[in-house]
Copies of this chain bind each other. A is one copy, B any other.
Amino acid sequence: MSLSPVRPKGPHLNALRAFEAAARLGSFTAAADELSVTPGAVTQHIKTLEAWAETQLFIRNARGVKLTPLAEELLPGFTQAFDQLGFSVHALRNKATPQKIKVAALPAIAQLWLAPRLGLLREVAPEISVSVVALDTPPNLAREPFDMTLFFSGKPLGKNEVKVTGDCIFPVCAPSIAARLTRVDDLGAETLLHDGAWHEDWDIWLRAQSGGEKIPRAGTVHSLFSIALEEARHGGGVLIAHETLVADLLQRGDLVRPFATSVDLPRNMVARFTPAFRQSETYEIVKRVLLSEG
């Protein structure tokens, strides 16, 4: 019996959050990414927490970490707590400023699909202000302050998800280039443009064409689809494009499809919403305007 003079303190909330993220994702690096900090910060948080609890939470291997049985057992409770907290934070934002919404989207989607539609939204409901953040990977909606995300997904639709469009690829190019393309074989003489994140697109499309296997895949890679698109528009080569992202330019005639065949990819453009946002008045308007014509 030690009559301690000081009120004992609980662990730091940030350490608990770091633990939950690391345990759920099974990786300190992934947790650091979700929390927008460096992996070193996560290491420190978890070390602090382990010292506080006087126990080990992770088994460190040189290549990644593994949960101890204790951490495994405790994880669901922490996840539930932070989920509830995240929901309440979303509710706070949605009820305090219902006319302001935050969207996270793939850069290409943000620029080529979303941007035109936001003009439409402004016409219909000028009181709604939308802020868009371009991200390469979908954020964890239960934890980060976004109301909706727009990404491609090959998984079955989840509870708060809505299919926006399918994903279908085909080559596009400037009309001047299209003039000299009649057979798939002609592509061998052209620069094949593609996006770095979708480096398999040409391969997929060519494999679906008879004789396409022989075309060399080498070409110019751009880190952003929108830059590759710009390049194609100026006659820089033939781009393997995603239908939803080039519909506008095709309609305007800036780009044309040299070949009729397209390939459907097994994935969709998916809009995902937070449960809190779905309860707000704004949700219906946004959904109606943005997802009107599939």
Contact = CB atoms under 8 A, between A and B. Distances in A.
Interface of A: 1-4, 6-11, 13-14, 16-17, 36, 53-55, 70, 73-74, 77-78, 80-82, 84-89, 91-93, 95-97, 102, 110-111, 114-115, 118-119, 122, 130-135, 139, 143-146
A143 B54 CA distance: 19
Given A1-B131, A13-B17, A82-B85, 17 more contacts: A1-B118, A1-B119, A1-B132, A2-B132, A3-B132, A4-B132, A7-B135, A8-B146, A9-B36, A10-B86, A10-B143, A11-B89, A13-B85, A16-B89, A53-B93, A77-B87, A77-B91
B54 A74 contact: no
Contacts of A73: 95
Q: How many copies does the complex hold?
A: 2
A9 B88 contact: no
Given A4-B131, A132-B3, A96 B84 contact: no
A53 B92 CA distance: 7
Contacts of A130: 1
Contacts of A82: 81, 85
A17 B81 CA distance: 13
A74 B97 CA distance: 14
Contacts of A74: 88, 91-92, 95
Contact of A84 (B9, B84, B93): B84
B97 A54 contact: yes
Report which residue of A7, A139, A144 has the largest number of chain B beta carbons within 10 angstroms of its beta carbon: A7
B54 A7 contact: no
A131 B122 CA distance: 62
A81 B78 contact: no
A9 B139 CA distance: 12
A1 B134 CA distance: 12
B55 A97 contact: yes
A53 B96 contact: yes
A121 to B, nearest CB: 9
